[in-house]
Amino acid sequence: MKNFVYAMAVVVLVAGCQKNSATDEAPSPTSPSEAASQARASTTVQFSGYTWTIRNTGTATGGPGPNVFNGSNAWVDANGWLHLKITKNATTGKWNCAEIYSTQNFGYGTYQWQVEGAIGSFDKNIVLGLFNYSGNDQYDEMDIEFARWGNAAWPNLNYTVWPAANGQGPWEYSKEFSLNGTYTTHRFTRSPNSVVFKSVGGFYNDDTNLFASATCSSPTSSISTLSMPIHMNLWLYDGNAPSDGKEVEVIIHNFKYTAR
């Protein structure tokens, strides 16, 4: 998740990273200033062996964005696959986004998603986020994001590690990529000393068809030790409508966590 614009094109910046192991209840997925004004969905869904809360802000907006997060825009189908969708409400004229977050916390280990969607050709205002997040904005967060942050000339794959609350800036990696198909696998591995990101074409549990890889390992003092929920969201940068005016859907076939 991110309200942060990358000012670099295809670069790796080293500044911080951090995390620990899997346990209990998820904290609030928003900053304290947002929490009071945002509704929380009471609906949960089972996906990939875990329980997830479907976010619903009602008619209100919330971060990231700001956007309206509609509980109807995230669901699991008969195959057990998670759908995330951005739609336009014909009645209100507002665009609605999707987000779910785990009720369980996760720490050191490997996080992997198998994604179906045209993520390499997203509109400049579309953002898909797959991330570990404590709820403390701009701290204790590890992101895989497919986004151009409102600028069609910027690279569309972004790995980010936000540090613990110690005054350090984020570590960032961005890369332009394109796909021949719509199936991809994305993962990161958290350890006390590093966060290793990888993206491959197709559905693989290894590095077959690897097209992006980056490692955050310095300074290790900034690597978080927190156990945190997993978030998956599909949203609009700065709350701006897709510049092509089209709705977007992404299907997550599987999420897998392997403890370290």
Contact between residue 248 and residue 119 where contact means Cβ atoms under 8 Å apart: no
Average pLDDT of every residue of the chain: 86
Per-residue pLDDT of 196-208, as tens digits, reads: 999 999 999 999 9
Q: Which residues pair with 100 in a beta bridge?
A: 54, 232
Q: What is d(CA 171, CA 106) in angstroms, rounded to the nearest whole number?
A: 21
Q: What is d(CA 84, CA 76) in angstroms, rounded to the nearest whole number?
A: 9
At CB < 8 A and 24+ separation, what contacts does 31-34 make? 31/63, 31/135, 31/136, 31/137, 34/62, 34/63
Taking CA atoms, 140 is separated from 10, 61, 160, 162, 252, in Å, by: 24, 24, 11, 5, 24
In this prediction, residues 86-115 reach a mean pLDDT of 97
pTM here is 0.85
Provide the pLDDT confidence category of residue 221 given band limits of 50, 70 and 90: confident
Determine which helix (DSSP H) or strand (DSSP E) holds 13, and give its type and residue range.
Answer: strand 12-13
Instruction: Provide the residue ranges of all domains of the chain, joining segments of one domain with +.
Output: 12-259
Provide the pLDDT confidence category of residue 18 given band limits of 50, 70 and 90: very low
pLDDT confidence of residue 195: 96
Per-residue pLDDT of 38-76, as tens digits, reads: 334 459 999 999 999 999 999 999 999 999 999 999 999
Q: What is d(CA 156, CA 9) in angstroms, rounded to the nearest whole number?
A: 9
- pLDDT above 90: residue 222: no
Provide the pLDDT confidence category of residue 164 given band limits of 50, 70 and 90: confident
pLDDT confidence of residue 51: 98
Instruction: Say what percent of the chain tops pLDDT 70.
Output: 84
Architecture of domain 12-259: Sandwich (2.60)
Q: What is d(CA 203, CA 227) in angstroms, rounded to the nearest whole number?
A: 27
Contact between residue 86 and residue 99 where contact means Cβ atoms under 8 Å apart: no
